[in-house]
Structure 1
Amino acid sequence: MFDIKPQFIVSDDNEPVSVILDIQTFHKIEAIIEDYGLDRFMDEADDDEPLSVSEAREYYTTLKKKA
């Protein structure tokens, strides 16, 4: 893994209320979360039946119309 060096912002009561991360650490965490989400999505999609070519074209046509 990698070393996270957080900095904390505290309230007047000395209670932590926020965390500051350097941008490089933030980007690493963001990439890990995105990879995890993609992995979950791919696992869920494994049970789906693949579309035929005509079904796929029809599906993508409807997506283009929505955009």
Structure 2
Amino acid sequence: MISLTKLNGKAFSLNALYIETVEEFPDTTITLTTGRKYVVLESGNEVLNRVTKFYKSVQLLSNPHLRGEEDE
């Protein structure tokens, strides 16, 4: 889960595994795999940083194949 802020200032947690796209329109809009959309105060880069940090914390990026590394 990552912590984000809605436009009204209310904090919420979002399951980063369901994020399909992050776009700036200029507001940052997150679309989930379910089709649901969230508009947040954080920049697109900040959302991506939090998602990456979350993936590392659950060791989703610890697999060399997921990181794009070849077998030696």
Give your verdict on TM over 0.5: no
What is the TM-score when the length of structure 2 is the normalising length? 0.30
Between structures 1 and 2, the one with greater strand share: 2
What is the TM-score when the length of structure 1 is the normalising length? 0.32
